[in-house]
């Protein structure tokens, strides 16, 4: 029986995984072991002979991956894989999978919620009413969205669904993503911005949907924010590390950014940010992905990829380190 470790997956248990493996007809071929811990050493003690591992936020460095001696597939319960050393995983022949399409509806809806909250100053007005202030003008000037410009930074699955949800508001939609073909933009009725600077200069509302990589870390910096259209609203449901938070704080303080809605911050482990507590900033605790349905879907798609590798000797359908093809451990084992 092949051993698979579920590590640091936020107290979900293993019922959904077992149910899905039963549905696939291979539950009797896989032993699921759950570890509720944040300490990677607990994983390594248990996973020394595990052929599959499923994790969420734990960092998998070269040193950590080297300890997974028999691991053939490691799946991240997330869209982003910035916590994995992909080069090292390929070196050790470990297939890395993620779940890139499990919470598209939820994150797009959360983006819209933060946009509306900031545009209508909902959280700010609520706080004032709780403090005993009943004043329709307490939050300053409000503007209608129709006729304004909404800019989406990056245009992957979540941004595309967000664009569909934004259509009824009557705004012009633009996006910057050099990796997406023109016909995709046309299909969604979105115009291509020639540059990120041009998007910031012309957008009344901006939402950030980019993955976090070495090249995108702190891409929203002082220079870019200096070019922003005065009074713009900024939304981030991507990753906190995409933003220079000190620069964003300055832009909010001097009015270049009139309000910000953030589901992510850079230091989420300690829940620390200079942006927390600012009057014109609404922050949610990285909850955009969450619904009961999305969590089940995420877990099923994660364990499905484990089964694809261990039971069917296939590459996982959401393979991230594509250069592992040909050197993966499971392929060597059947040669």
Q: Are 65 and 94 in contact (CB under 8 A)?
A: yes
Q: Are 224 and 200 in contact (CB under 8 A)?
A: yes
**Does residue 239 carry a catalytic annotation?**
yes
- N-terminal to C-terminal alpha carbon distance within the chain: 20
Helix axes 157-166, 104-119, angle to 10 degrees: 50
Tokens 């296939």 locate to 314
Q: Are 281 and 259 in contact (CB under 8 A)?
A: yes
Beta strands in 209-248 (DSSP E): 232-236
**Does residue 279 carry a catalytic annotation?**
no
Helix axes 292-310, 15-24, angle to 10 degrees: 50
- Which residues face 5 on adjacent strands? 33, 53
Active-site option among 18, 120, 286, 297: 286
**Does residue 268 carry a catalytic annotation?**
yes
CA distance 96 to 329: 12
Active-site option among 77, 239, 280, 329: 239
Task: Output 102-105 pairs: Cβ under 8 A, ≥24 positions apart.
Answer: 102/289, 102/294, 102/297, 102/298, 102/301, 103/79, 103/288, 103/289, 103/290, 103/291, 103/294, 103/297, 103/298, 104/157, 104/158, 104/161, 105/161, 105/291, 105/294
CA distance 149 to 94: 44
Tokens 């449901």 locate to 237
Closest CA to 207 of 181, 239, 184: 239
Burial of 127 from C-beta contacts in 10 A (0-12 / 13-18 / 19+): middle
At 49, is the secondary structure helix, strand, or coil? coil
- Catalytic center residues: 239, 268, 286
């Amino acid at each position: 029986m092949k051993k698979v470790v579920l590590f640091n997956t936020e107290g979900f248990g293993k019922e959904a995984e077992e149910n899905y493996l039963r549905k696939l007809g291979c539950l009797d071929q896989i032993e699921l072991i759950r570890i509720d811990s944040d300490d990677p050493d607990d994983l390594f003690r248990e996973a020394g002979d595990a052929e599959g591992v499923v994790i969420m936020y734990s960092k998998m460095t070269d040193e950590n991956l080297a300890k997974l001696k028999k691991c053939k597939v490691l799946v991240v319960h997330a869209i982003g894989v910035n916590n994995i050393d992909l080069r090292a995983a390929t070196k050790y022949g470990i297939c890395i999978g993620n779940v890139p399409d499990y919470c598209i509806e939820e994150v797009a809806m959360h983006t819209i919620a933060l946009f509306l909250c900031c545009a209508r100053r909902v959280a700010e007005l609520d706080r004032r009413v709780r403090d005993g202030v009943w004043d329709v003008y307490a939050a300053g000037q409000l503007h209608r969205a129709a006729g304004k410009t909404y800019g989406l930074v990056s245009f992957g699955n979540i941004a595309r669904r967000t664009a569909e949800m934004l259509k009824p508001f009557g705004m012009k939609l633009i996006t910057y993503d050099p990796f997406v073909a023109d016909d995709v933009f046309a299909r969604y009725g979105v115009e291509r911005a020639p540059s990120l600077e041009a998007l910031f200069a012309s957008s009344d509302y901006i939402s950030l949907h980019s993955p976090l990589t070495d090249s995108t870390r702190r891409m929203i910096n002082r220079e870019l924010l200096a070019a922003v259209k005065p009074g713009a609203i900024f939304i981030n449901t991507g990753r906190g590390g995409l933003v220079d938070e000190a620069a964003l704080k300055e832009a909010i303080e001097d009015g270049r950014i009139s309000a910000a809605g953030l589901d992510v911050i850079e230091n989420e482990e300690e829940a620390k940010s200079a942006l927390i507590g600012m009057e014109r900033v609404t922050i949610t605790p990285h909850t955009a992905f969450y619904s009961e349905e999305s969590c089940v879907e995420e877990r099923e798609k994660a364990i499905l990829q484990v089964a694809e590798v261990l039971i069917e000797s296939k590459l996982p359908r959401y393979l991230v380190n594509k250069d592992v093809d040909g050197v993966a451990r499971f392929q060597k084992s059947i040669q």
